[in-house]
Amino acid sequence: MPPQEPANSSFFHILSPKPALNLTKTIQKPSLKMSLSKRKLILILIFILVSASLVRVLRITITTSYILNIEPDPNTSNMRPNTYGDKMLSEKELRFLSDIILQKSPCNLLVFGLEDQYLKLPAINEGGKTIFLEDRPEKLIKMTGNANGSTQVFRIRYKTSAKEAYKLLKHARTHSSCSLRSGIRTLTAKCKIALTGLPKEVFKTKWDVIVVDGPGGDSPESPGRMGAIYMASVLARAGNGTNVVVHDVDRMIEKWFSWEFLSEKNLVSSKGKFWNFKIAQKKKGGFFETTGVKVNNIR
């Protein structure tokens, strides 16, 4: 006989499982787990970002502390691509330099370097003496035929490279042979920063304007301007209130050696990448007397 339904079937109906309730429970559990997973993921991302920021701050702090505690090397900040385009003077710079020369023209003008735009300088200094000192043969060729009795071009050779700048600066500070107080008369080969083999005409002349825009100094291995700036400062102190105009002072070597040997107190004007120093005449001592210079001492 088939089983019969109990009389109180409604009671069993109440006790029987309710699919709707089970369905609700099965949906809520994954949702809760998903919510917790999202929170964990967000917390992990925040932790990673905060950790990365702390590491970066720590690295910057260590790097800054290291830089402040070492002696900076001017070579590392002086290099840039060796392109002649970088050597072009702006119109304002060329006018600035021309005005300085015109104020003293006709005068004795000495130029370290022979850029194309400098071919105009002898005409600006008409009636005066202009001497160019250049180390690159290709630049000397451009001046051939343009030189006259009052304009001369000499090839010189630089024996020190830009990467030696800081070593030479320390040498000049510690060796009496490089002292600016000694003047031209006592300049010898013991001073490693002094240029050797310069023409006698350079030492016999009292220069009114000296321009330093050579050698190139735009790579660690290329000749640097340490010696040119140093020699300009020595020659200027033997002149009659000489103006020394240094180009590319945005570079570390030019900036440091100008401060060291030409002195910030002598800086009278600037334009673009030019600094113009006015060196007062020394009436007594080694700077004033330039006759009888033993040029052979530094050859």
What's the rounded Cα separation, in Å, for the pair 91 and 10? Answer: 106
For residue 228, give its domain range.
Answer: 84-298
What's the rounded Cα separation, in Å, for the pair 286 and 299? Answer: 20
- The verdict on residue 5 lying in a domain is no
Q: Which residues contact 191 (CB under 8 A, 6 or more apart)?
A: 171, 172, 175, 177, 178, 298
Full pLDDT tens readout for the chain, 299 residues: 444 545 554 444 444 455 544 544 444 555 656 666 777 888 888 888 878 777 676 665 544 343 333 344 544 445 443 333 346 899 999 999 999 999 999 999 999 999 899 999 999 999 999 999 999 988 887 665 555 668 999 999 999 999 999 999 999 999 888 988 767 766 667 899 999 889 999 999 999 999 999 999 989 999 999 999 999 999 999 998 999 999 999 999 999 999 999 999 999 999 999 999 999 976 554 433 333 333 333 33
Residues 125 and 55 in one domain: no
Residues 49 and 133 in one domain: no
What pLDDT does residue 181 have? 78
In order of 186, 187, 203, 211, 265, the CA distances from 280 in angstroms are 20, 20, 18, 17, 11
What pLDDT does residue 196 have? 84
What pLDDT does residue 205 have? 95
CATH of the domain at 212: 3.40.50.150
Contact of 212 with 142, CB cutoff 8 Å: no
Q: SS3 helix, strand, coil % of the chain, rounded to 5?
A: 50, 15, 40
Residues 57 and 173 in one domain: no
Number of folded domains that form the chain: 2
What pLDDT does residue 45 have? 81
Side-chain half-sphere exposure of 31, counting CA atoms within 13 A: 6
Taking phi over 0 as left and psi of -120 to 50 as alpha, with beta for the rest, 113 belongs to left
Residues 142 and 213 in one domain: yes
Secondary structure class of 21 (helix, strand, coil) = helix
What's the rounded Cα separation, in Å, for the pair 110 and 171? Answer: 26
Residues 58 and 152 in one domain: no
Residues 61 and 179 in one domain: no
What's the rounded Cα separation, in Å, for the pair 60 and 69? Answer: 14
What pLDDT does residue 21 have? 46
Domain boundary among 41, 70, 99: 70
Q: Which is it for the CA torsion 31, 32, 35, 41, positive or negative?
A: negative
Residues 103 and 21 in one domain: no
